[in-house]
Amino acid sequence: MTKGKLLYEGKAKKVFETEDPSLLIVSYKDDATAFNGEKKGTIVGKGVVNNRTSNLLMHYLEKKGVPTHFVEELNDRETVVKRVEIVPLEVIVRNISAGSFAHRYGTAEGIVFDTPTLEFSYKNDALGDPLINEYHIIALKLATREELDTIRDYAFRVDKELQAFWSARGITLVDFKLEFGRLADGTVILADEISPDTCRLWDSKTQKKLDKDRFRRDLGGVEEAYLEILDRVTAKDAE
């Protein structure tokens, strides 16, 4: 598999065409942004951690019955994925209050919910990724009712499986963001990445944050936290 034309360069990844029109190569960068691009920086080694972590998690989820775009890891930073048309939604599942939830509703961080919550944001940088409800998603034709039903079902299954995965590694899955895409035949599959950039991961014993909040909030020890996640993901063979 060889890299062809650069198709897209985002904040954290580059995407290249390949000789196969149904496959793309994703290349993970060390660049980090937060607050809709207002804060910029570099997290040395992040691309390697996110590539490996995301691939292991996608492989794990695939085995648990959630279809994903993952095809094959090429090297430290590059992976072959299925080409999809991204559904322009951030699908956010929360098990514990934190981040924008705690801010919006004026609650403390760390309140454990009885059942997980689900929310959607409209992926639109110019608008700052606003929250959006299911009626508005359908009105704007961002996804159909059937697609939303599938996405909701997969999102909660991912939560259940990943809570178990992380818990076995001494980590609490606080919340996370997923993105989905459509294959050429319209099948909806999990796309983008699942990594410390897109999840809140707290050490189960100490509650230490082991994710991008260390960068967002200038907590220090950012690189160490990412490496800690890679260590824990790889130390125990992914089931």
Told to check if 177 binds ligand 5GP by CB under 6 A, we report yes
Selected binder of ligand 5GP within 199, 225, 230, 233 (CB under 6 A): 199
H helix runs in the chain, sequence order: 46-63, 99-105, 134-139, 145-167, 213-216, 222-235
Least separation in angstroms between residue 92's CB and ligand 5GP is 5
Told to check if 120 binds ligand 5GP by CB under 6 A, we report no
According to DSSP, the residues that pair with 172 across neighbouring strands are 202
Residues across the chain: 239
Told to check if 46 binds ligand 5GP by CB under 6 A, we report no
Told to check if 30 binds ligand 5GP by CB under 6 A, we report no
SS3 208: coil
| Pairwise CA distance, residues 70 & 169, whole Å | 23
- The backbone torsions φ and ψ at residue 28, rounded to the nearest 5 degrees and listed phi first, read -85, 130
Least separation in angstroms between residue 161's CB and ligand 5GP is 16
Q: Are 232 and 171 in contact (CB under 8 A)?
A: yes
- Write the CB contacts of 214 (distance below 8 Å, at least 6 apart in sequence): 220, 221, 222, 225
Site map (CB under 6 A) of ligand 5GP, residues 141-170, x = contact: ------------------------------
| Pairwise CA distance, residues 143 & 180, whole Å | 10
Least separation in angstroms between residue 20's CB and ligand 5GP is 28
Told to check if 175 binds ligand 5GP by CB under 6 A, we report yes
Told to check if 69 binds ligand 5GP by CB under 6 A, we report no
Nearest to ligand 5GP of 18, 142 (CB atom):
142
Selected binder of ligand 5GP within 28, 60, 176, 226 (CB under 6 A): 176
Binding footprint of ligand 5GP on the chain (CB under 6 A): 90, 92, 98-101, 129, 175-177, 197-200, 212
